[in-house]
Every structure is written in structure tokens, then in C-alpha cells.
Amino acid sequence: MTLTEWWEFFLPYIPGFLYASWLVLVLTILIILVSWIFGLAAALARASDIAVLRQIAIFYIWFVRGTPALIQIFIIYFGLPALGLQLSPFTAGVLALGINSGAYVAEIIRAGLSAIPRGQMESSMALGMGRRHIMARIILPQVVRIILPAMTNEAISTLKNTSLLSTITVVELTLYAQTIIATTFRPFEFYIATALLYLVLTTLLTRLSAWAERRNARYV
């Protein structure tokens, strides 16, 4: 095939690919938001004085990290209907991967919290500041800076994990490629194209985080 022929062959699929990429991006952002909520809650629960909260957090992290993400997706999408909760593939996917990533985020935040010297908490308490105030204004802002690189890795994993949602009929990049390949019988070309699109997205994420890190580096 000549270059022109290639181009003409690919052209009809470009809008579909772009839309599927866009969907991956949206999924990733939503999953990250969910994972931050679960992760922060679990990290604070683990550091809490209340034993029950600590136990729940420990169980959550243990369960999620010890089972495959794919099984977690299946439990939420195929399993929950048995309890009367039927979610759309999209919602189930965001929830499942958000809960999954949340366990890793919790561990990252925990490591970040333990990297803050005790004196930061104590000197704040000595000024009459309350726990919530200290967390929000003193501890977490420092934790954010420390954990940014690890959180970037986690976000990239999350982005790549969205391809698992092809198994529950979310038409993201991977499933879109599969449907085209099913009719064109060109797996090599289309999987390479798909890989390249994932690469563009993950590179974007890395750049974004490098920028955030630089912005944060004023006091290092």
C-alpha cells in the first residue's frame, strides 16, 4: 500500500478513535477523583484513634490489593445486581476502578503522612490549632508535594487499567479497536494505532505532573 492508500484506509476510523481516546481521558479523570475520595478516607481511617475505622481500612486495602482488578470490576458490574443494584457499564467501571485505585492511593498517602516530621504536628498543636485545621493547612499540603510522583504513577496505571472496562462493554479505546479489527481483520495496524494513542495520553499525564511538581518546588 502507498502512503495515500494507508491514509484513505485509516481516515474513516479517526473520529471514532478520537472519541474513544476522549472517553479514556474522561474515565481516567472520574476514576482518579473517586480514588482520591476512597484513598484519603482510608488513609485517615488507618491513622484514626477509632479501632473499627482502622480495621475497615485495613480490610479494604488488603482485599483490593490481593485480588485482580478484573474480578473487582466483575463483582461490581455482574455481582451487585444480585443485591438489586444494577449499574450502567460506565458507572460500574468508574466505581470499580476508583475503589481499586483508592487502596493504592491510601497506601501512598500513608507513606506521605509518615514522612512528615512529628514536630510539624506538635508545633501546630502548641499554637492552639485543632486537628482538622492542622491536617488541612499544615500536613496535607506537605504530603501532596511528597506523593506527587507516586500519584502520577498511580494515575498512569489507572489510565491503562481502563482498557479492562472493554470486558463490560464500555466502548473505550481497546473495545473500539477490537470492533474495528473484527470487521477489517487488521489487528497489527489497529493495535499499534491504539498503543500509540495510549502513549499520547500517558505522556500527557506525565507532563502535567512534572508541571505540577515544578510549581510546587518553590520551597524544596
Partner 1 sequence: MSETKPLLSIRELSKSFGPIEVLKNISLDVHAGEVVSVIGASGSGKSTFLRCINVLERPNSGFLDFDRFAFDFRPGSRAAPSADDLKALRARIGMVFQSYNLWPHMTVLENVIEAPIRVRGMPRAEAVDLATTLLARIGLAEKRDSYPNRLSGGQQQRVAIVRALAMQPQLMLFDEVTSALDPELVGEVLSLMADLAAEGMTMLLVTHEIGFAREVSTRTVFFDRGVIGEDGPPSEVLRHPNSERLRQFLSRILHEGLAASAHGAAEGATP
The residues that touch partner 1, with contacts defined as CB under 8 A, are 117, 119-120, 122-130, 133, 137-138, 141-142, 145, 218-220
Judged by beta carbon, residue 28 or residue 124, the one nearer partner 1 is: 124
Whichever of 114 and 183 has its CB closer to partner 1, that residue is 114
Smallest distance, partner 1 to C-beta of residue 120, A = 6
User: What is the closest distance, in whole angstroms, from the C-beta atom of residue 149 to partner 1 in the complex?
Assistant: 17
125 versus 192: smaller Cβ distance to partner 1: 125
Q: How far is the CB of 49 from partner 1 (least distance, A)?
A: 12
- Convert the chain into a string of H (helix), E (strand) and C (coil): CCHHHHHHHHHHHHHHHHHHHHHHHHHHHHHHHHHHHHHHHHHHHHCCCCHHHHHHHHHHHHHHHHCCHHHHHHHHHHHHHHHCCCCCHHHHHHHHHHHHHHHHHHHHHHHHHHCCCHHHHHHHHHCCCCHHHHHHHHHHHHHHHHHHHHHHHHHHHHHHHHHHHHHHCCCCHHHHHHHHHHHHCCHHHHHHHHHHHHHHHHHHHHHHHHHHHHHHHHHC
Question: Which is nearer to partner 1, 145 or 160 (by Cβ)?
Answer: 145
Rounded to the nearest whole angstrom, what is the least distance from the CB of residue 114 to partner 1 in the complex?
Answer: 17
